[in-house]
Amino acid sequence: MATSQTLMSSSSSSPQQSPPLQILVREPEGFSIWRGPPFANGEPRPELDRVPAAAARFSDDGARLLVTRSASAVSVYSCGGGGGGGFSEIRAFEIPSLLAAALSPRGAFLQTFQKSTSPQDKNVVIWSVESGSPVYQQFQKNMSKTTWPSVQFSSDESVACRMATNEIQFFDPKDFAKGIINRLKIPGVTAIELSKSPGSHVVAYIAEAKGVPASVQIFSCGKDLQSQPVARRSFFRCSSVQFHWNNGTTGLLAVAQSDVDKSNQSYYGETKLNYLTTDGSHEGLVPLKKEGPVHDVQWSLSGLEFAVVYGFMPARATVYDRKCNPLFELGQGPYNTIRWNPKGRFICLAGFGNLPGDMAFWDYSGKKLLGTTKAECSVTSEWSPDGRYFMTATTAPRLQVDNGIKIFHHDGSLYFKKMFAKLYQADWKPEAPERFGDIAELTKSVNAIKIDERKKQAQDSKSSQTSRQAAASTVAKPSAYRPPHAKNSASVQEELFGGLAPSEEMSKNALRNKKRREKQKEKKAAEAGS
């Protein structure tokens, strides 16, 4: 075991305290870890000094960090258990011809993919991070986004499976030496997605073939419950599918993508949003209220509702419940991205990529818009684990100029901005949202401060206004200009009309109209008498 640099935090976090927020920032020279926000004196403090690396990625729970140093060397760091206890290298691996590497959700296993020359080379290897030894090896001809990582784990690492030809193979993560403990036969399967929390179900996509429509099928991971799918949805004109499991594994959103739009309304093809439940109560399309592509979809933390951005520009955004009933409309605009904060209270609606970067921040609990702003040329975007900050980053190689990081408050106001000559990556260190306090407490305190400031400003402005009025009252107000010939007539009018001249009481037009009405009344009275 090789041990590298270790940087201990200046303060530890007790179980009652929230862990500090941390950001991984990777530049050409390597990556570093920032502590915060909030930042002392407005500048981030390095939690871990710069480490040379070609890539870096946290495990899903943030307990460990995978660092790819070169095409033949990777290291795994301990992140101090999320309590600010410092970063230290706990294991280094020398793996020739390395093409890809990934950590399991809790960081117990490292999965690597190597370049192979023959099927006899078992180029997919699962390593135990604790022992540094391989626990499973398998040959895989090639790698793509749909097939990597080859072995998928549930969030608690209690279930593991991989897609093979016409089947899904299951393993026991506690003992990979058992080999394949179960095989689920699914002819024509081309993509799978294991549910994460809990890992009780797996969804399979079977492509269209020989006139048979494509289908999405959900199976139980229990060996005795796999005779039939618990839910199924079939459709034609589908070339690929994106899966989105909810927290709790009760519902699945499947975005079916077709390369060709038969209506010729979109150059990018056609998309349909399908919704299936693991209890079989719902299998069908989500009733979207506008024609056009599905740009983005995300579940809330509770798994009880999901938000969708869809339709031709200006796109529309809607929040639905688990029965596909619309709950709340987020309006329309140049949007293609939606981010639900980990606490489930705030939503950021944004337009990135080829859109100008408009962002709208919503309080979903209060059903109100908090603020709008812009983050042009953003490549990545995500809420902080505590749900209080929203970070956007402009990174290379997607964009070679104007690289930088912006951090916004939950209401859209800019908190921090830093530019880089070249920036490759900016990621929050994952933490469990329940480890942080309720955002409502922060909102109340912030609002109280703002209200006090407004009151003080109002009092200051009121007092200054009163003083100005008092000063103005000491100066005699100039009287209205009156021509010389009217000065004497004013005294006569005062005697006749008690100080109020008819011309001041009514305008000439009003007097003329009054006389006309009186004449009409007299005329009507005379006609009635005759």
Between the two ends of the chain, the Cα-to-Cα distance in Å is 123
Name the residue with higher pLDDT: 142 or 382.
382
Tell me the average pLDDT across 91-114.
94
pLDDT value, residue 471: 42
pLDDT in tens, 296-306: 999 999 999 99
CATH code reported for the domain at 157-285: 2.130.10.10
Q: Do the beta carbons of residue 409 and residue 389 sit within 8 Å? A: yes
| Res. 318: pLDDT tops 90 | yes
Cα–Cα distance, 110 to 73 (Å, whole number): 13
Q: Where do the DSSP E strands lie in 364-440? A: 368-374, 380-383, 389-394, 404-409, 414-419, 425-428
Mean pLDDT for 445-472 is 48
Mean of the per-residue pLDDT values of the chain: 83
Residue 246 has pLDDT above 80, yes or no: yes
What CATH number was assigned to the domain covering residues 286-437?
Answer: 2.130.10.10
pLDDT band at 49 (very low <50, low <70, confident <90, very high): confident
DSSP state letters, 306-337: EEEEESSSSEEEEEEETTS-EEEEEEEES--E
Q: Are 409 and 422 in contact (CB under 8 A)?
A: no
Q: Which fold has domain 53-149?
A: Thrombin, subunit H (2.40.10)
157-285 and 286-437 share one CATH topology?
yes
Calpha distance 157→433 (Å, rounded): 19
Res 462: pLDDT: 52
Sequence ranges of the domains in the chain: 53-149, 157-285, 286-437
> Looking at residue 403, what is its pLDDT?
96
**Model confidence at 528, in pLDDT bands (50, 70, 90)?**
confident
Residue 176 · residue 205 · CB < 8 Å:
no
* Confidence at residue 12, expressed as pLDDT on a 0 to 100 scale: 37
Cα 434-439-444 angle, rounded to 5 deg: 150
Of the pLDDT bands very low, low, confident and very high (cuts 50, 70, 90), residue 459 is low
Section 33-38 average pLDDT: 90
Instruction: Please compute the mean of the pLDDT values over residues 197-209 and round it to a whole number.
Output: 91
pLDDT score of 493 more than 60:
no
Percent of residues, the chain, with pLDDT higher than 70:
81
| Element housing 438 (H / E) | none
pLDDT at 446 over 80: no
Q: How many CA atoms within 13 Å lie on the side-chain side of 117?
A: 2
> What pLDDT is attached to residue 335?
95
Measured CA to CA in angstroms, residue 301 lies from 148, 249, 316, 432 at distances of 25, 12, 22, 11
**Mean pLDDT along residues 385-406:** 94
pLDDT tens per residue, range 261-287: 666 666 667 889 999 999 988 889 999
Quick one: pLDDT band at residue 191, thresholds 50, 70, 90? very high
At residue 119, the pLDDT reads 74
